[in-house]
Chains A and B, each alone.
Chain A
Amino acid sequence: MPPQAQQFLDQLNATLPLEAYLIVGALMFGIGVWGALVRRNAVVVFMCIELMINAVNLTLVAFADYLPNAGGAGVGYAVLVIAVAAAEVAVGLAIALAVYRSRKTVNVDEINLMKG
């Protein structure tokens, strides 16, 4: 095997730095912010909030695996975040359902009941 190919294979098998996971988490959070700001449908806004929560979870688990003195506590926090997100999506979809029943729409720019 030529040394260039061996070097290329070594690069493919190399361990990744922590920044790679952190930047993927940051980009995913940014996409979630974008969707939550620009979409009209309230259900899609919930999906984008779930995306943001998942990005934060990814960051937590990456820190738990990479930081030497963390003791893996970030994984425990990620479990708690998953539970809170499940509660959030249950209550949020119940609110969307109640709003749809009274207003016949879930577009967030048409629901202006609390606008002064």
Chain B
Amino acid sequence: MVVAFIFLASMTLLCAMGVVLSRNVVHSALFMSGSFLGVAGFFVMLNSPALAAFQVLIYVGAVTVVILFGIMFTQRPQVRRFGSILQRQRWSGFFVAIGVGAFLAYMMGLQNWDYTEPGNGPREVSGLGEILLGVNGAPPIFSLLFEVISILLLVAVIAAIVVSRRKTGEGIDRPGSDREEVSR
């Protein structure tokens, strides 16, 4: 357990540092998927293998691909110096982040967690399903939250289409685009 924990923790945290510090945006996205894989390993260690499968499917698969598409549409290829990827408030941001991380770690470690022990999570998928539907002793609010989440996903899909729709006469309508070159 300790070996697996050290491996997963170093993988997660080093890949998270790589997201922040790498100069290439595509490398940032790949580091992000590595960090998500580390978190999926933590979920397996924490008796939630179904959630680890969700994590790999949704984050490592879908979100990374969506972000790579976003990078493909919004970045021009360019060589960057390291200084040009950061904003002007780099040092104040660094100290704020150090403060947030140290404060959270301190507050988490301050409590007395001696009475806790592992093994209480829903290891079976049926237990996770009962929690999500709010039956069999789970909080009944989950049945409402489940429906609200489905509506939220529908609204988000429609909103993404509406926001990123290309209106005629707007945006990049360069003369001499691909279609004219093909017809010529």
Contact = CB atoms under 8 A, between A and B. Distances in A.
Interface of A: 11-35, 37-44, 46-48, 50-51, 54, 57-58, 61-62, 64-68, 70-76, 78-80, 82-91, 93-98, 100-102, 106, 108-109
Contacts of A23: 105, 108-109
19 contacts: A12-B1, A14-B1, A21-B42, A24-B9, A24-B12, A26-B105, A27-B13, A27-B105, A31-B20, A34-B93, A34-B96, A35-B19, A40-B84, A43-B25, A66-B120, A75-B122, A93-B66, A95-B163, A98-B163
Q: For chain B, what secondary structure do more than half of its interface residues adopt (helix, strand, loop), or is it mixed?
A: helix
B89 to A, nearest CB: 7
Interface string B14-45: 00110110000100110010011001001100
A39 B120 contact: no
A39 B87 contact: yes
Given A68-B115, A86-B153, A43 B70 contact: yes
A71 to B, nearest CB: 6
A91 B20 contact: no
Nearest to A24: B9
B182 interface: no
B19 A51 contact: yes
Looking at chain B, what size class is its interface with the partner chain?
A: 35 or more
Interface in B31-73: 32, 35-36, 39, 42-43, 46-48, 51, 54-55, 58-59, 62-63, 66-67, 69-71, 73
B59 A50 contact: yes
Contacts of B155: 87
Contacts of B62: 86
B87 to A, nearest CB: 5
Given A24-B9, A82-B59, A108 B159 contact: no
B20 A100 contact: no
Given A20-B5, A30-B97, A44-B19, A65 B108 contact: no
B79 interface: no
A92 B1 CA distance: 38
B33 to A, nearest CB: 10
B112 to A, nearest CB: 10
Given A23-B105, A68-B115, A68-B117, A89 B13 contact: no
A16 B106 CA distance: 18
A22 B46 CA distance: 12
A46 B96 contact: no
